[in-house]
Amino acid sequence: MRDYRNFYIDGQWVAPVEPKTADVINPATEAVAGTISLGGVADVNKAVAAARKAFASWSQTTREQRLDLLLAIQAEYARRQAELGDAIIEEMGAPSSLAHGFHVGLGAGHLQTAIEVLREFKFDEQHGATMIAREPIGVCALITPWNWPMNQTCVKIFPALATGCTMILKPPQLAPFSAQILAEILDTAGVPAGVFNMVQGSGSVIGTALSTHEDVDMVSFTGSEPVGVQIQKDAATTIKRVGLELGGKSAFIVLDDGALAANVAGATGGMMGNSGQTCSAGSRLLVPAARMDEVIAAAKGAADAVTVGDPTGNVAMGPVVSKSQYNIIQDYIQKGLDEGATLIAGGAGRPDGIDKGWFVKPTVFVGTNDMVIAREEIFGPVLLIIGYDDIDHAVAIANDSNFGLAGYVSGTDVDQCRAVARRMRTGWISINGGFDFHAPFGGYKRSGNGREWGEHGFLEYLEVKSLLGYA
């Protein structure tokens, strides 16, 4: 059983000011997997003070010094990658192939991207007699969710380090193990004291203390819309920058062509990845209404083929993260039934043969865009298929949402895919499965503000200074 009761502050592993612990539950077994400490305001104050002190020197380091540190971190991350994967299986139930694959791979990818961007990034640009300088914003609070623990943590830490910022990480209480190992990696790699700090605890305590703290210059938060709204309100009193990556209800538009069945199957299987616990998941599948029978057959076949079970084994889908998340998803499934959506796969309760753990059936409905299950983020393996009459209708449905985080378009006519993608009001759109670590990621509307990933991720952590008469 894991025992992670110390925080990482000012280059040291330290006990919390006031002892308070919480158990971490393995969602596949419902057994206690470990213990963490829950920090308080006093712990936050210590971490912020350490980060503020360290900023004076770290902000003045050279590009080469920061590159050397990132390369040292990269070597240590590779050495402990298997441990990170094991931790992710335990803390949030990701299947072994996913935990050891895409989960830890995303963290490694963001680290490599930060190295690549840092090598070429223009911190200074001369415009006539004026020098435009980009300088680190200062002390950053990084508040991360449990669903993709390495992705969401690394996409913040490494750009912050690369740009010369110092930071305090508040990992998710439900999935804290991988963050603890990552802190050990940073320590071993030689991150200077105070540059990186980590305090575990509840969002309502640690997140609020960081968001309201006078000496925190920027908050980067990934999580739910209500919490993001509260953080923005809390940060307003000190006029600090806030970057928010919030919820999504992303549309996946499948074009009417010969690849329809394959694209529907791919979209359905993709939705079930990570047990549907992905903010950018294509949870609304938009298909030509005239071919709904073909669509239903393809989607049902794909959903029924998803293997669910012990995440340490060879399965495609593990449990959802907690009992409360399981109950929320079950409520949404019932709402879908109550609203008259047609259930074509899955449904309520655990999969057959499973009587322990927070496992959900891969579930597919056919319905309309005005249903609750089309409007609200479920954050589970629940897909809603919606028929469209023509492309204009498909785009209108896609854009009829309070969210605008991601989108997907699949079809054989690439020009048509591009044209459809251009019309979708969302921040990140994948055409025929496209993926790019350097592409900015972030949302329109209630999905948040700001952008992470690649060069745009660096800009989140930089202030702009104009030096007039410089030349």
User: Annotated catalytic, 91?
Assistant: no
Instruction: Give dist(CA 359, CA 221) in Å, integer.
Output: 28
293-297: long-range contacts at Cβ-Cβ below 8 A with a sequence spacing of 24 or more?
Answer: 294/260, 294/261, 294/264, 295/254, 295/260, 295/261, 295/264, 295/385, 295/387, 296/344, 296/366, 296/385, 297/261
The answer to whether residues 165 and 136 touch, using CB atoms and an 8 Å cutoff, is: yes
Residue whose structure tokens are 């340490």: 312
Catalytic residue among 279, 377, 417, 452: 279
Q: How far is CA 84 from CA 87, 117, 155, 178, 284, in A?
A: 5, 25, 16, 5, 32
Does residue 166 come out as left (phi exceeding 0), alpha (psi in the -120 to 50 range) or beta? beta
User: Annotated catalytic, 120?
Assistant: no
Catalytic residue among 90, 91, 245, 452: 245
3 state SS of 70: helix
Instruction: Give dist(CA 81, CA 403) in Å, integer.
Output: 34
The answer to whether residues 458 and 119 touch, using CB atoms and an 8 Å cutoff, is: no
Instruction: Give dist(CA 288, CA 95) in Å, integer.
Output: 33
Query: Smallest Cα–Cα separation from 306: which of 318, 294, 290?
Result: 318
Instruction: Give dist(CA 352, CA 116) in Å, integer.
Output: 47
Edge-to-edge strand list for the sheet holding 130-136: 124-127, 130-136, 462-467
Catalytic residues, by residue number, are 245, 279
